[in-house]
Amino acid sequence: MQDFKWLKIGLSIIIMAVVVYVLKTLKAIFIPLVFALFLTFMFAPLNRFLVNKKIPQPLVLIILVVIIFISFTLIGSLVYMGVASFANEYPKYERQMTLLLGDFINDFNAPTNDVAQFIKNNVKPSDIISKISFSSIIAGTMGTFVDFIMKLTLTVIFMLFIVAGKSRFINNLADVFTTDSSDQTNHI
C-alpha cells in the first residue's frame, strides 16, 4: 500500500511536468485561443442580437470580424503613432534626459558613501544616454507589432470557429442530455 502511494505521487509529479512542458511549448496557440474565448464571450451579446434579428450566421461572423479588426487596428495605430512620435522627438527628450540625469548625479552629496562618490566622479549623463539604443527599442516595438497582428489574426480565426461551432454544440447537447439538462447547460 505504501509503494502504491509513492507511485501515485511520482506519476502525479511527472504528469504535472509534462502538462507544464506542453503548455509552455504550445503557448503560441493557447494564448490566442484563450483570447478568442474571451472575445467570444465579450461579443456574445452582439452575436445574440444579430442572430435574433434573423441575420444569417456567415454575415454575423463577417460583422464580428470587421468590428474586431477595426477596433484593434485603431488601437494598434494609436500605439504605433505614439512610438513614431517619440522617435521623431527623441533629440529633445535626449537633451532633457541628459540634464535631469546630470542633476540627479550631482545631487549625490553623501561624502561618506563610496558608491555615491564613485558615481558622482566617474559617471557622465551623456554616456548613459548614448548607451540606450532607442533604434533597437523601436525596431523591437515594430517586431512586436507584427507579432501582435499575426496573433490577432490567429485569434480571430479561432473565434470564427468557436462562434460557428456554437450552434452545433447546442444541438449536440440536446442529443446527449435530457431537454431540461440541455437547456440548463446551455443557459450556464
- Reported as a single tens digit per residue, the pLDDT across 9-26 is 888 899 999 999 988 888
Asked whether the predicted pLDDT for residue 110 surpasses 50, the reply is no
Distance CA 181, CA 178 (A): 5
Q: Do residues 51 and 57 lie in contact, with contact meaning Cβ atoms separated by under 8 Å?
A: yes
What's the predicted TM-score (pTM) here? 0.54
* Segment 59-101, tens digit of pLDDT: 988 888 888 888 888 887 887 788 777 777 777 776 777 777 6
State how far Cα 63 lies from the chain centre: 23
Helices (H), the chain: 2-25, 27-42, 44-52, 57-88, 90-106, 114-122, 125-131, 134-176, 179-187
pLDDT value of residue 118? 64
Alpha carbon distances (Å) from 116 to 99, 103, 124: 18, 14, 13
Asked whether the predicted pLDDT for residue 34 surpasses 80, the reply is yes
